[in-house]
Chain A
Amino acid sequence: MSMREKIEQAAAAYPDQRSAIMPALVIAQKEHGHLPGPVLEEVADILGVERIWVYELATFYTLFHTEPVGRFHLQLCDNVSCMLCGSEDLLTHLETVLKIKKGDTTADGLFTLSTVECLGACEMAPVMQVGDDYHGNLDVARLDALLDSLRAAAGRAAGIEHAPQPLPGG
Chain B
Amino acid sequence: MFEPVLLKNVEVANGHLLSTYEAGGGYQALRKVLSEYTPDEVVELVKQSNLRGRGGAGFPTGMKWSFVPKGADKPKYLCCNADEGEPGTFKDRIIMERDPHQLIEALAVSGYAIGAETAYVYIRGEYVAAIRRLEQAIAEAHEKGYLGRSVLGTDFNFTVHIHCGAGAYICGEETAMLESLEGKRAQPRLKPPFPAVAGLYASPTVINNVETLACVPHIVTRGAAWFRGIGPDKSPGPKLYCVSGQVRKPGLYELPMGIPLKELVEEHAGGPLPGRKIKAVIPGGVSAPVIPEHALEVGMDFDSLSAAGSMLGSAGVIVVDDSTCMVKVATRIIEFFHHESCGKCTPCREGLNWVVKVLRRIEAGEGAPGDLEQLDMLCKGIFGNTFCALGDGAAMGLRAALKHFREEFVAHIEEGRCPFH
Using a CB–CB distance below 8 Å, which chain A residues touch chain B?
13-23, 25-26, 49, 53, 56-57, 60-64, 78-81, 83-85, 116-125, 129, 132-134
| Interface mask (B315-328 → A, CB under 8 Å = 1, otherwise 0) | 01011100010001
Residue of B86, B185, B320 with most chain A CB atoms under a 10 A cut-off: B185
Contact status A120-B84, CB under 8 Å? yes
Other-chain contact of B126, A13, A49, A80, A120 (Cβ < 8 Å): A120
Other-chain contact of B87, A14, A56, A63, A118 (Cβ < 8 Å): A118
Contact status B126-A85, CB under 8 Å? no
A53 to B125, CA, bound (A): 20
Which among B2-10, B161-169, B409-417 touches the partner chain? B161-169
Q: Say yes or no: is B250 at the interface (Cβ < 8 Å to chain A).
A: yes
- Give min CB distance, A130 to chain B, whole Å: 11
* Closest residue on chain B to residue A78 by CB atoms: B332
Contact status A15-B201, CB under 8 Å? yes
Counting contact residues on chain B (CB < 8 A from A), the size range is 35 or more
Contact status A61-B329, CB under 8 Å? no
Given A19-B181, A80-B318, residue A120 in contact with residue B246 (CB < 8 A): no
Other-chain contact of A122, B88, B168, B182, B333 (Cβ < 8 Å): B88
Other-chain contact of B336, A17, A117, A120 (Cβ < 8 Å): A117
A24 to B124, CA, bound (A): 15
Contact status B251-A63, CB under 8 Å? no
Other-chain contact of A53, B86, B183, B251, B332 (Cβ < 8 Å): B183
Contact status A125-B245, CB under 8 Å? yes
Q: Say yes or no: is B293 at the interface (Cβ < 8 Å to chain A).
A: no
- Give min CB distance, B303 to chain A, whole Å: 25
Chain A residues with Cβ below 8 Å from B86 are 118
* Closest residue on chain B to residue A81 by CB atoms: B244
A135 to B239, CA, bound (A): 27
**CB within 8 Å of A: which of B74-99?**
84-90, 92-93
A84 to B244, CA, bound (A): 9
A121 to B282, CA, bound (A): 17
Chain B residues with Cβ below 8 Å from A117 are 85, 87, 169, 336, 339-340
A134 to B318, CA, bound (A): 20
A26 to B123, CA, bound (A): 13
* Closest residue on chain B to residue A131 by CB atoms: B128
- Give min CB distance, B102 to chain A, whole Å: 18
A98 to B163, CA, bound (A): 35
- Give min CB distance, A65 to chain B, whole Å: 10
A57 to B92, CA, bound (A): 25
Contact status B244-A60, CB under 8 Å? no
Other-chain contact of B243, A15, A16, A22, A123 (Cβ < 8 Å): A123
Contact status B186-A60, CB under 8 Å? yes
* Closest residue on chain B to residue A124 by CB atoms: B250
Chain B residues with Cβ below 8 Å from A134 are 129
Chain B residues with Cβ below 8 Å from A123 are 90, 242-244, 250-252
A35 to B367, CA, bound (A): 42
A106 to B178, CA, bound (A): 39
Chain B residues with Cβ below 8 Å from A22 are 163-166, 180, 183
Number of A-B contacts (CB under 8 A): 142
What are 15 A-to-B residue pairs whose CB atoms are below 8 Å?
A13-B163, A15-B201, A22-B166, A23-B164, A57-B166, A61-B186, A79-B286, A79-B336, A81-B244, A84-B320, A118-B89, A120-B93, A121-B93, A122-B90, A123-B242
Q: Say yes or no: is B184 at the interface (Cβ < 8 Å to chain A).
A: yes
Contact status A125-B167, CB under 8 Å? no
Q: Say yes or no: is B383 at the interface (Cβ < 8 Å to chain A).
A: no
Contact status B85-A120, CB under 8 Å? yes
Residue of B88, B124, B183, B339 with most chain A CB atoms under a 10 A cut-off: B183
- Give min CB distance, A50 to chain B, whole Å: 10
Chain B residues with Cβ below 8 Å from A56 are 184-185
Contact status B90-A120, CB under 8 Å? yes
Contact status A122-B87, CB under 8 Å? yes
Other-chain contact of B125, A16, A57, A63 (Cβ < 8 Å): A63
Contact status A23-B282, CB under 8 Å? no
* Closest residue on chain B to residue A12 by CB atoms: B161
Given A56-B184, A120-B127, residue A84 in contact with residue B246 (CB < 8 A): yes
A121 to B90, CA, bound (A): 6
Contact status A16-B182, CB under 8 Å? yes
Other-chain contact of A62, B127, B166, B185, B318 (Cβ < 8 Å): B166
Chain B residues with Cβ below 8 Å from A21 are 183
**CB within 8 Å of A: which of B31-51?**
none
- Give min CB distance, A144 to chain B, whole Å: 23
Given A19-B181, A20-B183, residue A85 in contact with residue B245 (CB < 8 A): yes
Chain A residues with Cβ below 8 Å from B180 are 22
**CB within 8 Å of A: which of B112-156?**
124-129
Contact status A122-B332, CB under 8 Å? no
Chain B residues with Cβ below 8 Å from A17 are 183
Chain B residues with Cβ below 8 Å from A19 are 163, 181-183
- Give min CB distance, A72 to chain B, whole Å: 15
Contact status A63-B250, CB under 8 Å? no
Chain B residues with Cβ below 8 Å from A84 are 244-246, 318-320, 324, 329
Contact status B244-A16, CB under 8 Å? no
Known: A84-B320, A120-B127. 20 other contacts (CB 8 A): A16-B201, A17-B183, A20-B183, A23-B163, A61-B166, A80-B88, A80-B286, A84-B324, A116-B167, A117-B87, A119-B126, A120-B85, A120-B93, A122-B244, A123-B90, A123-B250, A124-B250, A125-B245, A132-B129, A133-B128
